[in-house]
Chain A
């Protein structure tokens, strides 16, 4: 079965640079979620989109923004990167028909030097 696709899988950036992470949900899923997971930590919710509209917002820094496009893929844009932004970034997707169960992608490992 098709899963959530994230790209790139690994990303290395310098401080103050920008990064864009992409997420392609499972086909026919209309909701995407972004989570950040630091080393040894649990995933922390950042933001979610349902039918291309922001549906909920968590602890996402103002330096980060995200959107969902007409084909339901989503991008997380991160600017003025800081060392503390180094983490695993997961995208998940769900559909109302599936009872909102969130299925996670493999993640993007961002390293800020």
Chain B
């Protein structure tokens, strides 16, 4: 079936650098996308979301970019800190459903001091 996938399973950056985590989705009917951060043994934590009528959305130190033409989503983290180390998942609303999310495979971000 259609699913959301990530290009890179791991990403290692130096503290203070900018991080970019990428995600490809295949369900063109999905119109809502979310990035979650998950630390070991904890629940996914909402970071930022974007709807399909937008190309870019900014939060505190984070920016999400959506390219509907190539079905690509990215999360940019500015000035990455050790506390940002976690697994990052993108998720889509499963073809427009209001009642389920399809998650990608996750990218492990490691921030080196």
Contacts and interface: CB of A to CB of B under 8 A. Distances in A.
A103 interface: yes
A45 B44 contact: no
Contacts, number: 54
A107 to B, nearest CB: 5
B105 interface: yes
Assign chain A's interface to a size class. 20 to 34
Interface residues of B, number: 23
A14 B98 CA distance: 36
B43 A104 contact: yes
A108 to B, nearest CB: 10
Contacts of B25: none
B49 A50 contact: no
15 contacts: A31-B99, A42-B104, A43-B44, A50-B99, A56-B97, A90-B43, A100-B93, A101-B46, A101-B49, A102-B101, A104-B44, A104-B46, A105-B43, A106-B42, A109-B41
